[in-house]
């Protein structure tokens, strides 16, 4: 089947973004947008692209799930020995992108990365379903494994080893992206999109500006 990629277009007909309607605090504005995405019953509204760069400047991106956010930043969990964990150790900066297609909206976040405390990681790990806790013990994330069968056998062994309580591996930790910029993007007609950018220095005094589409 031949696909004409140039014709894969959709006209955006949504509300406009006006600076006067935006909250002075971008975290509060994000909370409002996120709630609308949830209320719209989007599948996985907390899915976000995480972009990282290693010490040589090579970029990488993948989807992860947002687990919480507040005025300190955006939190997710992963293995510190994974490819992304090593990249964030080498270069503690990251970018996040949320894209809510039915709403024609995206949010871009850029900032530094910091590790959560062990107590915070323990608390969240304990809240995960049993199977998810077991799975993190199968092998180091991003490491090479022989086969799917190897992983399934490891699961059986781990279930016997940890029938009830599953400890958190020391390498399974929480990360927080502390934003220094947050952009709200709203698709508009004729590609004249609305883009409102918040920037800050040292986490204080957010400044708002409009960007050309």
Q: Which residues touch 142 (CB under 8 Å, ≥6 apart)?
A: 79, 81, 82, 83, 84
User: Out of 108, 128, 176, 191, which one is annotated catalytic?
Assistant: 191
CA distance 53 to 60: 6
The angle subtended at Cα 70 by Cα 128 and Cα 76, nearest 5°, is 35
Which residue reads 């509300």 in tokens?
Answer: 15
Burial of 43 (0-12, 13-18, 19+ CB in 10 A): exposed
Which residue reads 């850029």 in tokens?
Answer: 110
* Residue 195 annotated as catalytic: no
In terms of DSSP H, where are the helices of the chain?
26-39, 83-90, 118-127, 130-135, 148-161
Using alpha carbons, select from 175, 173, 179 the residue that is nearest to residue 73. 179
Known catalytic residues are: 191
């Amino acid at each position: 089947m031949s696909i004409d990629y140039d014709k894969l277009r959709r006209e955006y007909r949504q509300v406009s973004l006006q600076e006067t309607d935006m909250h002075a605090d971008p975290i509060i504005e994000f909370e409002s947008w996120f709630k609308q995405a949830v209320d719209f019953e989007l599948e996985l509204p907390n899915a976000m692209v995480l972009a990282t760069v290693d010490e040589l400047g090579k970029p990488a991106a993948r989807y992860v799930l947002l687990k919480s956010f507040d005025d300190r930043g955006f939190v997710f969990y992963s293995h510190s020995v994974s490819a992304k964990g090593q990249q964030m150790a080498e270069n503690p900066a990251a970018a996040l992108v949320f894209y809510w297609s039915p709403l024609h909206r995206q949010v871009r976040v850029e900032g530094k990365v910091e590790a959560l405390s062990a107590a915070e990681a323990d608390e969240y790990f304990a809240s995960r379903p049993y199977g998810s806790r077991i799975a993190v013990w199968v092998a180091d994330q991003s490491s090479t494994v022989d086969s799917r069968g190897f992983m399934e056998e490891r699961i059986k062994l781990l279930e016997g080893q940890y029938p009830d309580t599953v400890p958190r591996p020391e390498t399974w930790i929480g990360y927080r992206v502390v934003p220094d910029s947050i952009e709200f993007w709203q698709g508009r007609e004729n590609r004249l999109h609305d883009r409102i950018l918040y920037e800050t220095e040292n986490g204080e005094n957010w400044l708002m500006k409009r960007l050309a589409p």
